[in-house]
């Protein structure tokens, strides 16, 4: 409809529009042409490039499960952990505190990644420490300890998440950057679907917390295996 308006106003020359007169199927094929096998093959053109692509995609998938497995179901955990002492208002008050404190994570990450530590080590180290604190979270015996552990893990988790989002696009060559990042985002959301199923069928016990912690630690070690570091480089 908008194209018809532009044509009436003279903003588009239908004869020069390469898509003019195409059928819906032809337009669909044109939109999906970037997903041809040859484009995916380019993602693994060399051993190091294939290693970078494979590890980053695996990280996005694992974090897609690990992050929501704890953080998205946090209100449920909070309400079930201290049911005799906590009210509904206190549960969501703590949830708001944890979310607000987590803002410090990306800010801290923006500073650290521009030091000698670099992207890979900052991302890997924060993921491992996040997993450790998630494991320790189950040992909290008072509401104050519970809130403290949650605040720490929120900062660390968002710290790693911010680096992952920024590091992924810049660690790939420009011509295929969009395809790689888009595929990574797809895996992230697929992981979120898996996390919902895990949380549902384990009845929101402490089991998902341990699973999430193990996945965070695994992600940390996977980050150390990335062959490329983008800090200090204008391009790969």
Residues 96-105 pLDDT 10s? 898 899 999 9
Residues 154-211 pLDDT 10s? 899 899 989 999 888 888 777 677 778 888 899 999 998 888 888 777 766 677 788 8
For residue 217 the two structure tokens come to: 């630690």
Q: Is residue 7 included in any domain, yes or no?
A: no
Q: How far apart are CA 85 and CA 78, in angstroms?
A: 11
How many angstroms separate the Cα of 153 from the Cα of each of 65, 83, 177, 192? 16, 22, 30, 19
For residue 205 the two structure tokens come to: 């016990």
Q: Is residue 105 included in any domain, yes or no?
A: yes
Region 4-32: what's the mean pLDDT? 61
For residue 29 the two structure tokens come to: 């094929």
CATH code, domain carrying 70? 1.20.1250.20
Query: Does the pLDDT at position 15 exceed 50?
Result: no
pTM above 0.85, yes or no: no
Region 100-117: what's the mean pLDDT? 89
Q: How far apart are CA 58 and CA 187, in angstroms?
A: 8
Q: Is residue 116 included in any domain, yes or no?
A: yes
Q: Which residue has the tokens 């104050």?
A: 144
How many domains would you assign to the chain? 1
Q: Is residue 229 included in any domain, yes or no?
A: no
Q: Which helix (H) or strand (E) holds 159?
A: helix 143-170
Q: How far apart are CA 113 and CA 231, in angstroms?
A: 7
By the 10 Å C-beta count (0-12 exposed, 13-18 middle, 19+ buried), 64 is classed as buried
Domain that includes residue 165, residue range: 57-224
């Amino acid at each position: 409809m908008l194209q018809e308006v532009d044509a009436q106003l003279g903003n588009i020359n239908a004869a020069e529009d390469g898509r003019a007169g195409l059928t819906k199927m032809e337009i669909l094929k044109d939109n999906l042409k970037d997903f041809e096998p040859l484009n995916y093959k380019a993602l693994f053109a060399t051993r190091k490039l294939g290693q970078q692509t494979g590890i980053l995609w695996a990280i996005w998938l694992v974090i897609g499960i690990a992050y929501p497995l704890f953080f998205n179901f946090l209100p449920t955990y909070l309400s079930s952990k201290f049911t005799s002492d906590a009210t509904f208002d206190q549960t969501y008050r703590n949830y708001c505190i944890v979310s607000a404190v987590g803002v410090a994570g990306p800010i801290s990450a923006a500073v650290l990644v521009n030091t000698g530590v670099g992207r890979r080590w900052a991302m890997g180290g924060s993921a491992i420490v996040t997993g450790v604190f998630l494991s320790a979270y189950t040992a909290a015996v008072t509401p104050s300890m519970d809130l403290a552990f949650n605040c720490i893990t929120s900062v660390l988790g968002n710290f790693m998440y911010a680096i992952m989002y920024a590091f992924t696009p810049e660690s790939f060559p420009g011509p295929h950057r969009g395809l790689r990042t888009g595929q990574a985002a797809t895996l992230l959301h697929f992981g979120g679907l898996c996390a919902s199923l895990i949380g549902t069928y384990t009845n929101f016990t402490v089991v998902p917390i341990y699973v999430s912690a193990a996945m965070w630690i695994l992600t940390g070690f996977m980050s150390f295996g990335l062959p490329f570091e983008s800090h200090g480089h204008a391009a790969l």
